[in-house]
Amino acid sequence: MYKGQSIQIILPALDEAGKIGRAVQRIPRPLVDRVLVVDDGSTDGTAAEAEAAGATVIRHDRNRGKGSAVRTGLAHALNGPYSHVLFLDADLQHDPAEIPKLVERAEHGIGDLVLGERELVRHAMPAARYYSNVIGSRILSALIGAEVGDSQSGFRLIRTDCLRGVSLTGTGYEIETEMLIKLVRAGARIERVRVGRLQYEGARSKIRPVRDTFRTCMLALAYRFFRR
pLDDT tens digits, one per residue of 69-88? 999 999 999 999 999 999 99
pLDDT of residue 121: 62
Q: Quick check: 170 pLDDT over 50?
A: yes
Cβ within 8 Å of residue 65, ≥6 positions away: 40, 171, 172
Q: What is the pTM of this model?
A: 0.83
Q: What is the β-pairing status of strands 190-194 and 7-13?
A: unpaired
Name the E strands within 52-121. Answer: 56-59, 84-87, 113-117
- Name the residue among 54, 63, 72, 60 with its Cα closest to residue 10: 72
Angle (nearest 5°) at CA 122 between 119 and 128:
110
Neighbour tally for 171: CB within 10 Å: 15
Q: Which CATH architecture is the domain 7-225 placed in? A: Alpha-Beta Complex (3.90)
The total number of residues shown for the chain amounts to 228
What is the C-alpha separation between 10 and 16, in angstroms, rounded? 15
Look at 10-24, 93-107, 152-166, 212-226 and tell me which has the smallest mean pLDDT. Answer: 212-226
Mean pLDDT of the chain: 84
What is the C-alpha separation between 166 and 81, in angstroms, rounded? 18
pLDDT of residue 166: 92
